[in-house]
Structure 1
């Protein structure tokens, strides 16, 4: 039996919304990280994955539930757990050597000892000769290597990686991922378990022994896929393709369905009732789906590759196509509906009209905004009102992005127009009042 290093039971976490109410971010999260395994955690932006990692690292506390490392409760930062951040989080005025030494210095390690340990970690991660360089003198990949060296110099049993490769270009990210796996396989990495948060499905399959899919609103583990393949793994094999296909399918399929088998996004807790993808992404994916290569039906990984979209953008576009009733997901394939084929083959005016009509029927926020504009005497609603309304159910980081998408969909669909100077929206048939 594997030894559990990190264990969470019924973990809940809420944050305050703009109106002062509690917004549930994590709900009844159960999770165990065992010694000797790499686990990948996949999920949409804003689903609470980073919050979960910070709870595991002892950087923030859970509201309720149990969080244990080595069978002992976590009440704050733990010596046996280190974390690597997406944003590098380096001190720009410190050299590579000094950045890597910081954690050791905080633990009161003697200068000569920490200098030796830092140098060993720097060499291990492939940065020998750059000890005296400042972060601004390094490439993005090299800066992330410094972040990893700073984490592993503490010799943690558990290494948490929060989208550690996503800020890098594709080739740099792959090289760094492969180097980490090589260190893991060789036993040179002073770590017993890795937990990797990622948006890249193939990356998860290439790295992990288990892939977990995290749901949204609120976040919790809802699906687990064992990956029982020997390392190193070849990305273009049928086994890898099958696993990637399974994850794609699970991530774009809501848990709840109506009695007649139709997808029910109104009830599903898997997505928020807002647009996720840009109009260009929706149009581009729909055009690709109905082109001669796919003829309206495509294997999810194949069309993701053909569309040249990253996994997060692709999944968002698929979800929105399904939400708009332009496509459906079945047996691992994306299938155009009759409505979707009309949309994909239509001219710009038909597409605008169809997206506007479907948005009114399927996006409650857009429908409510449209009705409010019709019923409000001034026929105007300010950006500030919309921002506050979104802030009641969304994280601050998600509000602006979501509002931008709502306005993009609504203006594209000829439902509203914008007065940027007055920071107000008005019905498309109305003219803005100028003063």
Structure 2
């Protein structure tokens, strides 16, 4: 077995919520990155994947457990580890050449040597001739190449890529991914291991030697799938499609709590995240699923192609449908339940009523908002009241997302209304009249 480069042993990390309470982002994470491998890490937004990469890069410390590099504890940034960010993170006032030289300058490399090494990295990544350009003069793909060149110029043993292709259009991302793999396979990189965080299941299968699936709340490694196919891989081959199906199956297996893995859905709690799926997307997905060629059951990769949804969007819609009991997930397939089929074929008024009952039964946050409005004499409450509650268990962004989804779902079910100008959630007039 190849030598371990980075090891995580029972690593945990917490951050303070807005109200000052500690919120566990990572818990009991065990992972080893070895020489000669590319590993892909998949998980839902907010599962702690980016936090994990920052721990491995030495940018933040672990609260519990150990992070080891070459068998030694990692207490800060290491010379042998470089990171590529999703947002490019370039200095807009510096040329391509100067952006790539920055890390070398920070390490005290003499000007002549760092200029030569930067030029070589720029040429390696396919940007020769653009050394004097500013970031604003480059396309998104070219800017990301600068970010990759800036990481590679340090000649790292370990390259960490945090959603490095997700900000690019599909074709540009694929081309850049293929170029990185070509450099890896041709041994033109000094890099001995790559860890890729991604939302794209096909990208993970095309690149990696193994895929890790991360669970949420708190983040931890839930499943691992080896990818035994030689590179380069044909994305249309049976082997690749079968592995993509397998990863979809792992990504959509039931909910987990406190390290326990279950094949059945665990009921939501009041302070849990909600899937980022708007009603229009849910309805559109159901309409595609109910009709031919799917007729109520679909392979997730195939319906993703049909609907044009990204993996991130598809997984959120699928989670919403299972939460509302309109569909079930089995081994990478999604199937309408009788209730889901009834919903999609019902008249609009009946759809609203069905949806209302589903969210009241299965989404505690919506039920809590409705009950609070019914108990308040005015029937009007400000959204901040519910945000303060959610901040006990979620960070600010996730709290806002959960409330936004809850409000939209509740409005569709005619459970309450929302004033976007004032932030007031209130009962509908008919409801108010009933309370008088």
1:121 matched to 2:118? no
Distance 1:386 1:58 in 2: 36
**Match runs of 1:22-421 below 5 Å:** 22-254=22-254, 263-266=264-267, 272-421=272-421
Distance 1:294 1:232 in 2: 32
Structure 1 residue 387: Cα displacement: 2.0
3-state SS of the aligned residue for 2:42? strand
Q: Given the superposition, is the C-alpha separation of residues 33 and 256 from structure 1 closer, same or farther in structure 2, using an over 3 Å criterion?
A: closer
Q: Given the superposition, is the C-alpha separation of residues 256 and 418 from structure 1 closer, same or farther in structure 2, using an over 3 Å criterion?
A: closer
Distance 2:108 2:122 in 1: 20
CA contact (8 A) 2:353 2:413 kept: yes
Structure 1 length-normalised TM: 0.95
Structure 1 residue 348: Cα displacement: 2.6
CA contact (8 A) 1:37 1:209 kept: yes
Distance 1:274 1:150 in 2: 37
Structure 2 length-normalised TM: 0.95
CA contact (8 A) 2:275 2:319 kept: no
Distance 1:272 1:386 in 2: 13
Distance 1:273 1:147 in 2: 32
3-state SS of the aligned residue for 2:168? coil
Structure 1 residue 267: Cα displacement: 6.7
**Unaligned ranges ≥5, structure 2:** none
Q: Given the superposition, is the C-alpha separation of residues 255 and 412 from structure 1 closer, same or farther in structure 2, using an over 3 Å criterion?
A: closer
Deviation track 1:247-285 (CA, whole Å, cap 9, x = no partner) reads 11111111569xxx98332279xx935243111221111
3-state SS of the aligned residue for 1:223? strand
Structure 1 residue 192: Cα displacement: 0.3
Deviation track 1:27-52 (CA, whole Å, cap 9, x = no partner) reads 00000000000000000000000000
Distance 2:321 2:121 in 1: 47
Distance 1:317 1:275 in 2: 7
3-state SS of the aligned residue for 1:214? strand
Distance 2:229 2:409 in 1: 43
Distance 2:362 2:95 in 1: 53
**Unaligned ranges ≥5, structure 1:** none
CA contact (8 A) 1:256 1:263 kept: no
Distance 1:143 1:29 in 2: 33
CA contact (8 A) 1:324 1:358 kept: yes
CA contact (8 A) 1:328 1:337 kept: yes
1:18 maps to 18
Count of matched residue pairs: 427
Distance 2:179 2:13 in 1: 35
CA contact (8 A) 1:210 1:225 kept: yes
Q: Given the superposition, is the C-alpha separation of residues 379 and 275 from structure 1 closer, same or farther in structure 2, using an over 3 Å criterion?
A: farther
CA contact (8 A) 1:46 1:395 kept: no
Structure 1 residue 332: Cα displacement: 2.8
Distance 1:252 1:384 in 2: 32
CA contact (8 A) 1:93 1:134 kept: yes
CA contact (8 A) 1:273 1:365 kept: no
3-state SS of the aligned residue for 1:114? helix
Distance 1:4 1:395 in 2: 34
